[in-house]
Every structure is written in C-alpha cells, then in structure tokens.
Amino acid sequence: MFGEAEAAFAEYVCAPQTRLVAKPPNLTFEQAAALPLAANTALMGLRDLTAGQHVLVNGASGGVGTFAVQIATAYGAEVTGVCSTRNVDLVRSLGAEHVVDYTHTDFTRESARYDVLLDLVGNHSLRELRRTLKPGGTLVLSGGGVSRGGSLIGPIALIVRGALIGKFARRHRVVVLEAVPSAANLRVLAELAETGKIVPAIDREYPLEQAPAAIGHLEVEHARAKIVLTV
Ligand SMILES: NC(=O)c1ccc[n+]([C@@H]2O[C@H](COP(=O)([O-])OP(=O)(O)OC[C@H]3O[C@@H](n4cnc5c(N)ncnc54)[C@H](OP(=O)(O)O)[C@@H]3O)[C@@H](O)[C@H]2O)c1
C-alpha cells in the first residue's frame, strides 16, 4: 500500500485506511513515497485542464512541478515549464514542449498566452500572472515561497489578493489551490504511474538517520524535484 500520512520522520506511522491504496507494482517504495502529497497537489491544480489546452507551470522543476508537467502531458495539454538553467533538460525530459529559463527570460513579458497557469512559486504579481492568460483562462495559485524581496509576505499577499479577486474576476478564473488528501485521486495517480505516464523524479535518497542532512539539502542547497528518506 502507499498513501499520505501526517508528516513524520519515523520507521512507523499511522495513516487512515481511506488515505491508502495499492502501490503500483512497477514503483519502488522510494518512488511510491515521493508521490502522494506532491502529485495530488499537482493533480488538483490541473483538474480543469482539457486536452489541447496550453498550460504553463511556474516552478516546473520542483516537487509539485515535476508531477504537474507529467500529468498535464498525460492529459494531452501543450506544456510550458519554467525553471532555472540547471533544470531545463529535466523539465523537457518530463514532457514539457517548451521550457522557459527564468534566469534569462521572464515569461510574463513574453507574448505567449495560456489557458491554465499553475503558479507554484509566487514570484510574480497577480497583474503579471493574469496578463499571460487567454481570455477565459484559469490562474491557479499555490503560494510558493519566493517573492522579489525574498520575504514570505509576497506569496501570502498574492494568495490573499488572488482569493479576493477570484470572487469578482470575469475575464479569467483565479483559484487558490487547496490540496486535500483523497483516495480517489491516489487511484488516478497510481494508474498514471502504473502506465508509465508519471514517474517520480527523485533528486536524492537519504537514510532516516540522515534526515537533518536531507532537510539541509532541501532548504540550503536548493534540491530539485523530490528527496526521499529510506528506512
Ligand atoms: N511538495 C509538496 O508535496 C507540496 C504539497 C502541497 C503544497 N505544496 C506547495 O506547492 C508549492 C511548490 O512546492 P514545491 O514543493 O514544488 O517547491 P520546490 O520543490 O521547492 O520547487 C520550487 C520551484 O520554484 C522554482 N524557483 C525557485 N526559486 C525561483 C525563483 N527565484 N524564480 C522562479 N522560480 C524559482 C524552482 O526552480 P529551480 O529549482 O529550477 O530553481 C522550482 O521549480 C509551494 O507553495 C508548496 O507550499 C507543495
């Protein structure tokens, strides 16, 4: 079985039966551990996407973004991923047709327009994000942790403004992503994994006793995709 437990670094954790489903046999336990929370977040962020639509994933090389690119590709969307130079090849290998390197190009200043923009970073204003949408397009905000000044206030303010504007916006939809654990979603993700449409991208694995080093790698060294603790 695999699924989502309350966050814990431990040999054993309790999880409600409703949050567990059968592990796809082709996934290792490490790959299965990397999947539920991040892939469910990506799936919920893309739930309105339909085949043929153009989606942009800001933060495409991160834990959620690497799944979002693969899920959108599996759903037949044309995918643009935004990441830094060192992750361009990774994001392309996950299925993105176009990759924007944010260290050289600001996607909000380009001419391309999107049906769905999944923002996992929070480093652009609402105005900048909305102007990259086609009329009737959807902006999905998840918060992120990066603002222009490096503070957390920027992303939080973006979410609060997004939630408010989402109530009145007519030209576009603005939604704040709220990922809730769901066995039904887990089954969808397990099927996508079993058919090879999503493969968890793992940067590094650490034994449980090296959890502090794993957190250091995540926070300080700017890990890509997912890191996994093994027991
Ligand atoms: N991971 C989860 O399971 C999970 C679950 C629920 C909600 N969330 C939420 O989803 C959001 C994304 O989480 P995550 O875990 O995917 O984050 P993450 O793994 O830290 O990924 C961050 C992404 O942001 C990009 N980035 C970093 N600095 C940037 C900058 N200055 N300008 C533009 N892009 C930049 C990174 O690109 P490079 O690495 O290429 O620089 C990477 O693609 C967060 O709001 C988080 O709270 C995550």
Per-residue HEC secondary structure of the chain comes to: CEECCCCCCCCCCCCCHHHEECCCCCCCHHHHHHCHHHHHHHHHHCCCCCCCCEEEEECCCCHHHHHHHHHHHHCCCEEEEEECHHHHHHHHHCCCCEEEECCCCCHHHCCCCEEEEEECCCCCCHHHHHCCEEEEEEEEECCCCCCCCCCCHHHHHHHHHHHHHHHHCCCCEEEECCCCCCHHHHHHHHHHHHCCCCCCCEEEEEEHHHHHHHHHHHHCCCCCCEEEEEC
Does ligand 1 lie within 6 Å of residue 108's CB atom?
A: no
pLDDT value at residue 221: 80
pLDDT value at 146 more than 70: no
| DSSP β-ladder status, 202-207 and 173-176 | unpaired
Quick: pLDDT tens for 13-70.
Answer: 888 888 999 999 999 999 999 999 999 999 999 988 999 999 999 999 999 999 999 9
pLDDT value at residue 153: 58
Structure tokens at 44: 């919920």
pLDDT value at residue 148: 47
Quick: pLDDT tens for 190-200.
Answer: 999 999 999 99
Domain carrying residue 180: 2-230
Mean pLDDT of 119-125: 94
Specify the residue with its C-alpha closest to ligand 1, atom 19.
62
**Cα distance between residue 177 and residue 230, in whole Å:** 29
| pLDDT category of residue 167 using cuts at 50, 70 and 90 | confident
Is the pLDDT higher at 52 or at 5?
A: 52
Which of 143-147, 177-181, 190-194, 197-201 is predicted with the least confidence, judged by mean pLDDT? 143-147
Which of 1-10, 34-43, 81-90 is predicted with the least confidence, judged by mean pLDDT? 1-10
Please report, for the domain that includes residue 207, its CATH number.
Answer: 3.90.180.10
State the total domains in the chain. Answer: 1
Mean pLDDT of 152-174: 79
| pLDDT category of residue 151 using cuts at 50, 70 and 90 | low
Distance from residue 96's CA to the centre of ligand 1 (Å): 17
Distance from residue 201's CA to the centre of ligand 1 (Å): 14
Q: Which atom of ligand 1 is nearest to the CA of 65?
A: 16
Does ligand 1 lie within 6 Å of residue 121's CB atom?
A: yes
